[in-house]
Amino acid sequence: AQSVAQPEDQVNVAEGNPLTVKCTYSVSGNPYLFWYVQYPNRGLQFLLKYITGDNLVKGSYGFEAEFNKSQTSFHLKKPSALVSDSALYFCAVRSDGAGSYQLTFGKGTKLSVIP
């Protein structure tokens, strides 16, 4: 069964500092990987995805993520955090066909950017 682990329930970072939100995955076949962000009382918003090709993926709002096949990781990064980045972040994985077609989410990581 495919799964996603987000080892940190909460990440605190000072405004202007770089941020990293960690994600590791397990899937049969090749992974399609996604990051979504959820603001309070709102649905999930798509940030970025990895399908194939370049391991560094750039997305919305200055976020990027690095795919590492050997470590089965897909960490979310941003060079300089903003207070407005404070939200709940979800990593998700889907198989390219060898496993389940379902999109499996992690439990989420709460990011707090401190002014």
> Of 49, 64, 75, 77, which lies in the binding site for another protein, with binding defined by CB under 8 A?
49
Of 15 and 105, CB closest to another protein: 105
Taking residue 65's Cβ as centre, other Cβ atoms within 10 Å add up to 26
Select the span of 17-25, 42-50, 63-71, 72-80 touching another protein (CB under 8 A).
42-50
Instruction: Give dist(CA 77, CA 112) in Å, integer.
Output: 14
Of 57 and 113, CB closest to another protein: 57
Site for another protein in 73-102 (CB under 8 A): 90, 92, 94-97, 101-102
